[in-house]
Amino acid sequence: MKTSEVLQWIEKIDPYKRFGKVTRMVGLLIESKGPETSIGDVCYIYTNQKNAQPIMAEVVGFQQENVLLMPYGEAKNIGPGCLVEGTRTSLEIKVGRSLVGKVLDSLGRPLDQKNLPRGLMSYPTEQEPPNPLSRPPIREPISIGIRAIDGLLTVGKGQRLGIFAGSGVGKSTLLGMIARNSEADVNVIALIGERGREVREFIEKDLGEEGLKKSIVIVATSDQPALKRIKGAYTATAIAEYFRDLGYNVNFLMDSLTRVAMAQREVGLATGEPPTTKGYTPSVFAALPRLLERTGTNENGSITAFYTVLVDGDDLNEPIADTVRGILDGHLVLDRKLAEQGQYPAINILKSISRVMNDIVAADHLQAAERFRSLLAVYEENKELIQIGAYKKGSSHEIDEAIHYYPKLIQFLKQGTSVHSPHEETLAYLKNIVFQGDD
């Protein structure tokens, strides 16, 4: 380390420790008189129990010169007069290439309680999104290994997509397929608000040993405090940004963004924010763009992001789904009816869109995809007439053509969870169906 760097590091050291005292605790919030601190800073609360570890908390607001804190863990043994130490720094995690293959908690600590690998560096979880003018345009497709996506909803390196679905339609399974089959250099997977039982199931069943070898998994289960669930999303995003800055093409998968919004709502309501649409506080709609804009491309590498969004009653116009759809670069809609009919992945092609596909695929690929969509749309519009036998063959050339192609279209869309479809095979299959279907 150079002398100038050492001097800069020494200048940053604060020789004073700042303390305050807990005055009261209401619900999720701890109120203290002091210390001198700022929003987002980490504080340590020393409890009355002997030999107990201090509790990490974050400054989430102020009220009449009192500091409002929210703990990252359980607020046990905290009483009036407990010391609160201010650090004057925000949350930092340890990052490095040796984290690949690890499962971490929302504060970046190994979930198996083993020690972190050596040689890691400190990295703040709060980062600014890349400057819009420093973002290279998305010009190169990335193979996902799923025919319905690669063929009809082609994803570009650095694109951000939402996966919209109700519960039990196959979001987690689809994420596992993307993580295993994608040609990205490394996967960063955030499981936010999941049931504890589902975490191991996802890692062993959906992700598998092969997928875990090139993945980092961050877990914040539903039983953990709201702040810890929020930090899980920020920690995972920071790890993805670290690898992007090294020049990697990163796959970032979060399940689910809705639970992050719900956790932010809990924090907002606890700090006194007014509830707005469906009880969500203004801070939720302010936090979502800041979080989502951090992924994407920069001058070094790319983060191709997939965010699952839970839609209550399959309502795609509920507040979080509507907000997220306006921020992201496309969306995949999983349809419960298709899942019930045994079509997997249950992607509704006609309701889904990739906003960068037109700029990253060849003309013949785009033409084949448009023809596929057109045939499928014609059949779906006339499905009821066809099924009840009210349509007479020969009445419409377009409908006759759609009926002829329909079984082949559905066969293309169906894909087993263990099947990987290379990009070249997918394109050849797609063109063969729509351009040579009469053979």
Q: Model confidence over 236-258: pLDDT tens digits?
A: 999 999 999 999 999 999 988 99
Nearest-Å Rg of the Cα atoms of the chain is: 25
Residue 348 has pLDDT above 50, yes or no: yes
Do residue 356 and residue 244 come from a single domain? Answer: yes
When the pLDDT of each residue in the chain is averaged and rounded to a whole number, the result is 89
398: domain CATH number is 1.20.1270.330
Residue 12 has pLDDT above 70, yes or no: no
pTM: 0.90
How many domains does one find in the chain?
3
Give the best-scoring range by mean pLDDT among 199-203, 207-211, 355-359, 380-384. Answer: 355-359
Last residue of a domain, one of 60, 75, 90: 90
Q: Model confidence over 158-204: pLDDT tens digits?
A: 999 999 988 888 888 898 899 988 888 999 999 998 888 888 888 88
Q: Which amino acid is at 32?
A: S
Nearest to 368 by CA among 420, 316, 300, 434: 434
Do residue 384 and residue 422 come from a single domain? Answer: yes
Last residue of a domain, one of 63, 90, 117: 90
Do residue 110 and residue 196 come from a single domain? Answer: yes
Do residue 344 and residue 257 come from a single domain? Answer: yes
Residue 375 near residue 402 (C-beta atoms within 8 A)? yes
44 φ/ψ angles, rounded to the nearest 5 degrees: -115, 130
Range of the domain at 355: 93-360
Do residue 291 and residue 382 come from a single domain? Answer: no
70: domain CATH number is 2.40.30.20
185: domain CATH number is 3.40.50.12240
392 or 264, higher pLDDT: 264
Do residue 74 and residue 135 come from a single domain? Answer: no
Furthest-apart CA atoms within the chain: distance in Å = 87
Nearest to 371 by CA among 434, 427, 414: 434
Residue 416 has pLDDT above 70, yes or no: yes
| pLDDT value of position 306 | 96
Do residue 149 and residue 75 come from a single domain? Answer: no
Phi-psi region of 82 (alpha: psi -120 to 50; beta: other; left: phi over 0): beta
Residue 10 near residue 3 (C-beta atoms within 8 A)? no
Q: 345: cis peptide before it, omega within 30°?
A: yes
Q: Model confidence over 255-286: pLDDT tens digits?
A: 889 999 999 999 999 888 898 888 899 999 99
Q: Model confidence over 19-55: pLDDT tens digits?
A: 889 998 888 889 999 888 899 899 999 988 877 888 8
| In-domain check, residue 255 | yes
Do residue 83 and residue 118 come from a single domain? Answer: no
Last residue of a domain, one of 341, 360, 379: 360
Residue 435, beta-bridge partner list: none
Rounded CA separation 183/173 (Å): 18
